[in-house]
């Protein structure tokens, strides 16, 4: 068995409740690196994050704050109230205008809004199979035709069985087979506060069709 990285929270992520995720923000969750994920920064630098943006599962808001500082209309949602509170505090401290809402990613249609780009940095891989399908339908409800989903998740290339479930490329393609066109899936690193700090991930770009 592969050794568990130091600092990791035991147990499979898809078995955790919202309360458990929220409690983790009383400290520093493994995924909260205090800055945007480098893979997301590269997307922003390449102008691949366009129009109005929703960050689904935004955590403490680093991606939304980065985009808002660049003049992007960005909204972050997370089911964990503590995460949203921390994100709002960061926005106030940095003098950045950004919208953060405590919200269930499986009920995005009830936001009554539309977004040209949805970011998912580490949310898809916490869902079990049933909620995974529900989540993809939820994304489709807020992304108009031609809009994009940019999704970063744990890859099946990552050894061990701690933390989130590993995702295969064919699972991503199957999940987004209806109502979406998968444009690309590329290997990237997902940074954490663990030791070692980086894990293997997939970065998928899908277009709403």
List helix spans (H) across 31-178.
38-45, 62-69, 81-94, 129-140, 169-175
Q: Tell me whether residue 6 is in a domain.
A: no
CATH, residue 98: 3.40.50.150
Q: Give Cβ neighbours of residue 121 (< 8 Å, ≥ 6 apart).
A: 37, 39, 40, 55, 57, 63, 152, 190
Q: Provide the domain count of the chain.
A: 1
Q: Tell me whether residue 141 is in a domain.
A: yes
Average pLDDT of the residues of the chain: 92
The whole-number pLDDT of residue 17 equals 80
What are the start-end ranges of the E strands in the chain? 53-56, 74-78, 99-102, 117-121, 148-154, 180-191, 198-208
Q: Tell me whether residue 135 is in a domain.
A: yes
Q: Tell me whether residue 7 is in a domain.
A: no
Q: Tell me whether residue 8 is in a domain.
A: no
Tens digit of pLDDT for each residue in 14-29? Answer: 556 888 888 989 889 9
Structure tokens at 202: 């997939």
Q: Tell me whether residue 133 is in a domain.
A: yes
Tens digit of pLDDT for each residue in 127-169? Answer: 999 999 999 999 999 999 999 999 999 999 999 888 899 999 9
Average pLDDT over residues 54-64: 97
How far does the chain reach from its first CA to its final CA, in angstroms?
Answer: 42
Q: Tell me whether residue 204 is in a domain.
A: yes
In which band, very low, low, confident or very high, does the pLDDT at 99 lie, cut at 50, 70 and 90? Answer: very high
Q: What is the pTM of this model?
A: 0.90
C-alpha distance from residue 46 to each of 39, 51, 90, 94, 148 (Å): 11, 14, 25, 24, 15
Q: Tell me whether residue 92 is in a domain.
A: yes
What percent of the chain clears pLDDT 90, i.e. is strictly above it? 83
What domain range includes position 87?
A: 16-208
């Amino acid at each position: 068995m592969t050794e568990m990285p130091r600092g990791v929270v035991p147990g499979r992520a898809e078995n955790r409740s919202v309360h458990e995720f929220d409690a983790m923000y009383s400290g520093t969750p493994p995924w909260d690196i205090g800055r945007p994920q480098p893979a997301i920064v590269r997307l922003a630098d390449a102008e691949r994050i366009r129009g109005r943006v929703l960050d689904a599962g935004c955590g403490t808001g680093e991606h939304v704050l980065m985009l808002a500082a660049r003049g992007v209309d960005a909204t972050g949602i997370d089911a964990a109230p503590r995460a949203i509170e921390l994100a709002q505090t960061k926005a106030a401290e940095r003098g950045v205008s950004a919208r953060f809402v405590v919200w269930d990613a499986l009920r995005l249609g009830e936001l009554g809004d539309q977004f040209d780009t949805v970011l998912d940095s580490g949310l898809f891989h916490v869902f079990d199979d049933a909620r995974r399908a529900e989540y993809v339908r939820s994304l489709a409800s807020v992304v108009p035709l031609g809009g994009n989903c940019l999704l970063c998740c744990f890859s099946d290339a990552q050894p061990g069985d701690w933390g989130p479930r590993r995702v295969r490329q064919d699972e991503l393609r199957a999940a987004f087979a209806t109502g979406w066109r998968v444009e690309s899936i590329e290997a990237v690193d997902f940074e954490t506060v663990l030791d070692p700090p980086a894990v293997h991930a997939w970065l998928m770009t899908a277009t709403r069709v």
